[in-house]
């Protein structure tokens, strides 16, 4: 059972049209969910570029299948977080993206990137923030014995997993759950709330600019 709030997504006709850049490190299921929401018309946006830091990650395969331009910016080739983030800014700025979406981007972002994309970066996290910030959130929630967990889509700020919460969904933990059994149920609701959170971030941006 999952409980999603807010339950009423912004209708597409009331959404601001957005150009999105997506960052991914892993399988890319959230990236695909965002592309699918755009193509269904639920999210008035276009993913103009996917950047991955792991050349062989699943997200690259999905990008190929979906026909989304994919660029590898491998963090291992940079001397610091700032240098990596400078390369990301140099990549996304000419593409005129409105928002950056961290869809399983497993790098801590530097203040430089936070400043460049203030209020314009959305992250998805597999826990009910502010609980279980950081890595291995699903494992740590289970180890803590919680009976309800979930996921959070939020704006990115300098504090890791600490920005303004946009959408959350709760997932009931079953007594016999393992990380392997719980993770797919959390992923399923991530795929539903991330597009809603992007639409909301777009609305907040438009209001701030008005």
Q: State the Cα torsion 69-199-151-89 to the nearest 10°.
A: 40
Among 15, 30, 110, 149, binds ligand GAR (CB under 6 A): 30
Of the candidate spans 69-77, 93-101, 109-117, 124-132, the one that interacts with ligand GAR by CB under 6 A turns out to be 124-132
Q: Report the alpha-carbon distance of residue 120 to residue 17 in Å, rounded.
A: 14
Report d(CA 7, CA 17) in Å as an integer: 21
The residue (of 30 and 116) whose beta carbon lies closer to ligand GAR is 30
Instruction: Rule CB under 6 A: choose which of 27, 71, 203, 206 binds ligand GAR.
Output: 27
Active site includes 125?
yes
CA dist., res. 155 & res. 48, Å (int): 20
Residue 24: strand pairing partners: 52
Candidate residues 12, 19, 26, 157; the one interacting with ligand GAR per rule CB under 6 A: 26
Q: Give the residue with the Cβ less far from ligand GAR, 54 or 206.
A: 54
150 belongs to the binding site for ligand GAR (CB under 6 A): no
Sort 158 into a burial class: Cβ within 10 Å, 0-12 / 13-18 / 19+: middle
Question: How many angstroms separate the Cα of 116 from the Cα of each of 60, 149, 153, 164, 171?
Answer: 25, 32, 20, 17, 34
Q: Minimal CA–CA distance to 164: which of 119, 199, 102? A: 119
Instruction: List residues bridging with 49 in a β-sheet.
Output: 21
Least separation in angstroms between residue 30's CB and ligand GAR is: 3
Q: Is 163 a residue that touches ligand GAR (CB under 6 A)?
A: no
- Secondary structure (3-state) at 105: coil
Which of 104, 163 has the CB closer to ligand GAR?
Answer: 104
Q: Which stretch binds ligand GAR (CB under 6 A): 13-21, 44-52, 82-90, 120-128?
A: 120-128
Interacting residue with ligand GAR among 18, 68, 103, 197 (CB under 6 A): 103
Question: Of 104, 150, 163, 195, which one interacts with ligand GAR (CB under 6 A)?
Answer: 104
Residues binding ligand GAR (CB under 6 A): 24, 26-30, 103-104, 124-126, 137, 187, 190
Catalytic center residues: 125
């Amino acid at each position: 059972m999952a409980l999603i709030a807010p339950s009423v997504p912004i209708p597409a006709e009331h959404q601001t049209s957005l150009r999105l850049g997506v960052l991914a490190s892993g399988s890319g299921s959230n990236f695909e969910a965002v592309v699918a929401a755009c193509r269904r018309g639920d999210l008035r946006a276009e993913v103009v570029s996917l950047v991955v830091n792991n050349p062989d990650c699943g997200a690259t395969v999905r990008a190929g299948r979906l026909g989304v331009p994919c660029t590898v910016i491998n963090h291992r080739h940079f001397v610091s977080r700032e240098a990596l983030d400078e390369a990301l800014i140099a990549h996304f700025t000419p593409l005129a993206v409105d928002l950056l979406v961290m869809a399983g981007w497993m790098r801590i972002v530097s203040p430089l990137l936070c400043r460049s994309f203030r209020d314009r970066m959305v992250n998805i996290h597999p826990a009910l923030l502010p609980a279980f910030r950081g890595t291995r959130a699903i494992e740590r929630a289970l180890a803590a014995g919680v009976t309800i967990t979930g996921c959070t889509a939020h704006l990115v700020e300098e504090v890791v997993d600490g920005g303004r919460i946009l959408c959350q969904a709760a997932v009931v933990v079953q007594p016999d759950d393992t990380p392997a059994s719980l993770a797919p149920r959390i992923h399923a609701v991530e795929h539903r709330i991330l597009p809603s959170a992007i639409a909301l971030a777009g609305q907040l941006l438009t209001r701030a600019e008005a």
